[in-house]
């Protein structure tokens, strides 16, 4: 028994468990307050005040909402497939919570002479893991929609499935361009390579655009919230859901938003890097000593990471309350005929730029050439005879 | 009993994952509802991915989940959700189907027995084993070095399949679409 | 036929490639929403902040007293006749000696009741009153009631309290009209 305790203390196990629990708690807290934030952002954009009765500035609103959810009747339709009906929201929540496991939220803490990464697990296939978990996210929606035994739910589920499959392709290809530049699949490595203002957004503007659009589609957020399109499908895949099962679906959406903001921050905005971080760390180390200085610098890095994540979440909401919903054929056209060809073009340009040795200049010149090429092809296309010209 | 308790922990892991795999596989063929079958199959894919991780093949595990569980099974589920299942319950009474199933099972069993008999003879060299074999770098180097031609041929095959799918889906003149 | 010159001509010309990328209009939209995000909000937070409803708002009824604190109402019943909802009822009584400081007229309303479930706050009672006795307050609502026995308001709730006299900018329709100019 003594040796086990010894092992427990010496190994990283305790610290890792602590970090996992903290990340888990922060994820849930941010997701809960995203619901408050969503309502506030919606209100402010529409010249209203938003929830401000429960607590100061409505800060207790998430608790009130959750309490309301818990006390609603938990209804399962008679003709529904009971187990799958329960499994659906659980899967949604499960996959949503899994995706932030490989995200490095900060560099590392030095505790008792050991370096502990601020990351749940560090695996050398981090991006593939994220991608795999994202591709599983649709199961919760599909299973829930099918099990409800309701035509609107089924339509929502089918829409979710085809939408996710379509946008995964473009998303994967925009990530591959990043992978080609960094030469690694590990998220931590990708973040480390962006050290010193060397953010991928400057190298991959088009990739970022495609990735963001696909992230919106994968999270089922407006303008791509077709699976729960209430004007056409009542409530979409969660029409039959009530109480905390519905709450899980809604909550999973916010966790997905958090996770995709975190991944976007890591892939394109340098993760926990911020301008002048070397200088800050040197000052802190000379002021506080090597270990304490490093730890405080890591904390500041975590702060910068969460600033980026929160801005990402705000951007999600900002777009939601600006843009109307796409029509389904527009969604498919954009995905298959717009984003995938652009992503392939981006891939080729990135490859050529890397081979030429001038990464930054090469990619921007390549993108400019692509725009020129597309506009030339566009101007040469056969004009429709019956198009309404002029007013 | 003592022997079981003294096994290294990885064996327990292996045993648990194997039980899960078999549970999923049996569930796939034994459940009457096709949607349940698909979900059991997803469980099987997951536990197979876990086996890959036990074998230190992280890349294969991830790709297995992305491609099979994430894409192909979504499409399966997508198609099965469209089908109306209630009318096809009589299919199992068809004699031809039962015969075909028995023959396939026997053939598969024969192949399995042959493989298992051979498998015992060759021992794995545990000391000379490169632990990085299943990692992305080594896999990429062998795929794009040693096996470049087959790899490119397969990608051409996929391209042909994609073009074929586009051709099939394309609207022909005079055809009505709703 | 052109009715107004406010009609906007829609531009149905084909979109250029730049416009078809949706990005310029998306950016414009995001600009508009973020502008609104930082704008001052016009919300009045009701129970804490109350806006002035204007001098002609018709709220809680009041039976006015005159300057000496005598009730003006003479129980003529014109308000009850004018009332389209038949919400008002009263019992008249003759003033006896010694009650001159209580009632201005020789006849007064011993009971004066308004059924607030029936009242539609039209203000016709106010216009019908020859003695300027009944008014609808502009500064006070009839509160929410949760019991049927709270619905019928008697004289205890209606007669003016001399310590907090009810004042308004315009007592007659003509005065109120002047306020708008």
Q: For residue range B120-138, what is the model confidence (pLDDT) as tens digits? A: 666 666 666 666 776 778 8
Cα–Cα distance for residue pair C32/C9, rounded to 1 Å? 22
pLDDT at residue number B122: 62
Is the Cβ pair A124, B62 closer than 8 Å?
Answer: no
When pLDDT is cut at 50, 70 and 90, the band that residue A389 belongs to is very low
Query: A53: which DSSP letter?
Result: S
Neighboring chain A residues of C25 at a CB cutoff of 8 Å: none
Please check the confidence at residue A363 and state whether its pLDDT lies above 70. Answer: yes
pLDDT at residue number B88: 56
Which whole number is the average pLDDT over A147-163?
85
Name the most confidently modeled range: A97-101, A136-140, A319-323, C15-19: A319-323
Residue pair A350/A204 in contact by the 8 Å Cβ criterion:
yes
Q: Which has the higher per-residue pLDDT, C143 or C179? A: C143
Say whether the peptide bond before residue C166 is cis (omega within 30 degrees of 0).
no
**What are phi and psi for residue C77, nearest 5 degrees?**
85, 5
Please check the confidence at residue A10 and state whether its pLDDT lies above 80. Answer: no
- By CB atoms closer than 10 A (0-12, 13-18, 19+), residue A325 is middle
pLDDT at residue number B124: 65
And the tokens for A211?
Answer: 């990735």
pLDDT at residue number A390: 42
Chain C contact probe: residue of A323, A385, A387, A388 with most C CBs at under 10 A: A323
Which whole number is the average pLDDT over A33-57?
87
And the tokens for A335?
Answer: 């995905």
Q: Give the closest-approach CA distance of A46 to chain C in angstroms.
A: 7
The dihedral sign for the CA sequence C2, C4, C5, C8: negative
Closest to A315 measured CA to CA, from A192, A190, A219, A247: A219
Neighboring chain C residues of A46 at a CB cutoff of 8 Å: 36
How many CB atoms lie under 10 A from the CB of residue C136? 20
Q: Who among C12, C30, C41 is closest to A322 (CB)?
A: C30
- By CB atoms closer than 10 A (0-12, 13-18, 19+), residue C178 is exposed
pLDDT at residue number A235: 76
pLDDT at residue number B150: 92
Q: What is the average pLDDT score of chain A?
A: 83
Q: What is the average pLDDT score of chain B?
A: 81
pLDDT at residue number B103: 93
Q: Which has the higher per-residue pLDDT, A275 or A94? A: A94
Is the Cβ pair B135, A124 closer than 8 Å?
Answer: yes
Q: What is the ipTM of this complex?
A: 0.77
**Residues of chain A above pLDDT 90, percent:** 3
Express each pLDDT in A203-222 by its tens digit: 888 889 999 999 898 888 87
Express each pLDDT in B49-104 by its tens digit: 888 888 888 888 888 888 888 888 888 888 887 776 565 555 556 778 888 889 99
pLDDT at residue number A242: 84
On whether any CB of chain C is under 8 Å from the CB of A319, the answer is yes
Residue pair A292/A64 in contact by the 8 Å Cβ criterion:
no
Chains B and A touch (3+ CB pairs under 8 A): yes
Which whole number is the average pLDDT over A341-369?
87
Cα–Cα distance for residue pair C91/C123, rounded to 1 Å? 21
On whether any CB of chain B is under 8 Å from the CB of A162, the answer is yes
Residue of C nearest to A334 (CA): C21
Is the Cβ pair A128, B69 closer than 8 Å?
Answer: no
Express each pLDDT in A262-273 by its tens digit: 989 888 888 888
Neighboring chain A residues of B84 at a CB cutoff of 8 Å: none
3-state secondary structure of A112: coil
Size of interface A-C (CB pairs under 8 A): 46
Residue pair B81/A158 in contact by the 8 Å Cβ criterion:
yes
**Residues of chain C above pLDDT 70, percent:** 99
Is the Cβ pair A142, B135 closer than 8 Å?
Answer: no
Express each pLDDT in C90-133 by its tens digit: 998 888 888 888 888 888 888 999 999 999 999 899 889 888 88
Chains C and B touch (3+ CB pairs under 8 A): no
Which whole number is the average pLDDT over C57-63?
88
How many CB atoms lie under 10 A from the CB of residue A55? 14
How many CB atoms lie under 10 A from the CB of residue A267? 27
When pLDDT is cut at 50, 70 and 90, the band that residue B21 belongs to is very high
Q: Which has the higher per-residue pLDDT, A185 or C83? A: C83
Q: Give the closest-approach CA distance of A388 to chain C in angstroms.
A: 7
And the tokens for A45?
Answer: 């954009």
Cα–Cα distance for residue pair A137/A186, rounded to 1 Å? 21
Which whole number is the average pLDDT over A84-110?
85
Buried b (16+ CB within 10 A) or exposed e, A278-305: eebbeebbeeeeeeebbbbbbebbbebb
Residue pair A150/A236 in contact by the 8 Å Cβ criterion:
no
On whether any CB of chain B is under 8 Å from the CB of A74, the answer is no
Neighboring chain A residues of B74 at a CB cutoff of 8 Å: 135, 138-139, 142, 161, 164-165
3-state secondary structure of A371: helix
Neighboring chain C residues of A378 at a CB cutoff of 8 Å: 17
**Residues of chain A above pLDDT 70, percent:** 94
Range name among A154-168, A221-235, A294-308, C51-65 with the lowest pLDDT average:
A221-235
Q: Who among A47, A49, A388 is closest to C36 (CB)?
A: A47
pLDDT at residue number C81: 92
């Amino acid at each position: 028994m003594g040796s086990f305790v010894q092992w427990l203390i010496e190994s990283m196990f305790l610290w890792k468990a602590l970090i996992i629990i903290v990340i888990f708690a922060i994820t849930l807290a941010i997701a809960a307050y995203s619901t408050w934030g969503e309502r506030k952002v919606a209100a402010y954009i529409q010249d209203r005040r938003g929830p401000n009765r429960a607590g100061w500035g409505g800060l207790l609103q998430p608790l009130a909402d959750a309490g309301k959810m818990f006390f609603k009747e938990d209804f399962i339709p008679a003709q529904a497939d009971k187990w799958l009906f329960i499994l659906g929201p659980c899967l949604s929540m499960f996959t949503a919570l899994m995706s932030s496991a490989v995200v490095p939220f900060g560099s590392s803490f030095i505790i008792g002479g050991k370096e502990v990464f601020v990351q749940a697990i560090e695996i050398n296939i981090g991006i593939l893991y994220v991608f795999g978990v994202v591709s599983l996210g649709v199961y919760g929606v599909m299973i829930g929609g099918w099990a409800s035994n309701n035509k609107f739910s089924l339509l929502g589920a089918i829409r979710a499935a085809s939408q996710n499959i379509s946008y995964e392709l473009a998303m994967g290809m925009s990530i591959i361009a990043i992978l080609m530049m960094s030469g690694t699949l590990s998220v931590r490595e990708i973040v480390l390579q962006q050290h010193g203002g060397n953010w991928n957004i400057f190298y991959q503007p088009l990739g970022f655009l495609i990735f963001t659009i696909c992230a919106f589609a994968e999270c089922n957020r407006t303008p791509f919230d077709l699976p729960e399109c209430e004007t056409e499908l009542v409530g979409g895949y969660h029409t039959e859901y009530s109480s905390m099962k519905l709450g899980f679906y809604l909550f999973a959406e916010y966790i997905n938003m958090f996770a995709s903001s975190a991944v976007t921050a890591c892939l394109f905005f340098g993760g926990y890097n911020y301008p002048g971080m070397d200088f800050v760390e040197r000052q802190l180390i000379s002021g506080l000593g090597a270990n304490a200085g490093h730890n405080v610098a890591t904390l500041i890095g975590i702060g910068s990471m969460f600033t980026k994540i929160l801005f990402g979440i705000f951007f999600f909401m900002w777009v939601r309350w600006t843009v109307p919903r796409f029509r389904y054929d527009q969604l498919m056209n954009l995905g298959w005929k717009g984003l995938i060809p652009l992503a392939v073009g981006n891939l080729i340009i990135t490859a050529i730029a890397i081979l030429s040795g001038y990464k930054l200049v090469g990619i921007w010149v390549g993108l400019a050439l692509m725009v020129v090429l597309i506009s030339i092809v566009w101007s040469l296309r056969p004009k429709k005879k019956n198009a309404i010209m002029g007013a | 009993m003592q022997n079981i308790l003294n096994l290294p922990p990885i064996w327990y892991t292996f045993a648990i994952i194997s039980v899960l795999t078999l549970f999923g596989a049996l569930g796939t063929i034994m459940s009457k509802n096709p949607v349940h079958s698909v979900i059991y199959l997803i469980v099987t894919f997951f536990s197979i991915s876990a086996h890959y991780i036990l074998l230190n093949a992280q890349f294969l595990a991830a790709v297995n989940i992305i491609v099979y569980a994430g894409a192909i099974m979504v499409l399966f589920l997508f198609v099965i959700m469209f089908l109306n299942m209630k009318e096809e319950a009589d299919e199992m009474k068809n004699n031809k189907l039962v015969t075909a199933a028995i023959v396939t099972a026997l053939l598969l069993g024969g192949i399995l027995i042959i493989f298992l008999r051979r498998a015992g003879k060759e021992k794995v060299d545990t000391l000379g084993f490169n632990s990085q074999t299943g990692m992305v770098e080594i896999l990429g180097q062998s795929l794009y070095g040693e096996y470049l031609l087959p790899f490119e041929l397969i990608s051409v095959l996929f391209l042909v399949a994609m073009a074929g799918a586009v051709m099939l889906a394309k609207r022909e003149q005079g055809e009505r679409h709703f | 036929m052109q009715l107004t010159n406010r009609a906007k001509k829609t531009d149905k010309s084909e979109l250029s490639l730049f416009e078809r990328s949706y990005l310029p209009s998306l950016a414009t939209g995001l600009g508009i929403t973020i502008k609104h995000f930082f704008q001052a909000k016009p919300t009045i937070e009701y129970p804490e902040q109350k806006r002035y409803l204007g001098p002609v708002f018709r709220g809680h009824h009041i039976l006015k007293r005159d300057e000496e604190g005598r009730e003006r109402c003479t129980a003529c019943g014109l308000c009850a006749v004018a009332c389209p909802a038949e919400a008002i009822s009263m019992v008249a009584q003759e003033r006896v000696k010694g009650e001159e400081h209580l009632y201005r007229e020789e006849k007064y309303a011993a009971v004066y009741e308004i059924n607030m479930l029936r009242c539609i706050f039209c203000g016709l009672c106010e216009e019908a009153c020859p003695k300027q006795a009944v008014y609808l307050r502009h500064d006070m609502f009839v509160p929410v009631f949760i019991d049927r026995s709270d619905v019928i308001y008697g004289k205890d709730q209606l007669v003016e309290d001399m310590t907090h006299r009810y004042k308004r900018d315009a007592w007659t329709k003509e005065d109120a009209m002047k306020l708008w100019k």
